[in-house]
Amino acid sequence: MPVDLTARALPILMLIASNVFMTIAWYGHLRFKAVPLALVILTSWLIALPEYLIAVPANRWGSAVYSAAQLKAMQEVITLSVFVIFSALYLGQKVTLNHLIGFALIAAGAWFIFRPQA
């Protein structure tokens, strides 16, 4: 049982970690708009490298227990969850009801990916 739990949980934890790096790489620079774009791009690449080093094995190992569609759906829900927290705490942007409804609809789509076939 622990091996099965590890095989299922480890890819999820790794996808969460990789999404933290990617969210910082994609959106962290928005607080520093005076920094030249070339420097922002270079810095973002350096921040994104650990994301790839975590995401690729997460998907490889996760494919042993999840389908590619399930991994992608999981990644999207994780991305939105990380983004909401980052946007509110780091960027100081308000998360509105419309945002939450939109994200919930995306999560509902992911639910269908995991739903057993009838």
pLDDT in tens, 19-31: 999 999 999 999 9
In this structure, what DSSP letter does residue 1 have? Answer: -
pLDDT at 2: 57
Q: Give the residue ranges of the chain where pLDDT is below 50.
A: 1
Residue 3, judged by CB atoms within 10 A of its CB (0-12, 13-18, 19+), counts as: exposed
Instruction: Report pTM.
Output: 0.86
* Residue-by-residue DSSP string for 51-63: HHHHHHHHHHHHT
pLDDT at 46: 95
**Alpha-carbon torsion, ordered 33, 83, 5, 109, to 10 deg:** -140
34-53 b/e (C-beta count within 10 Å ≥ 16 → b): eeeeeebeebbeebbebbee
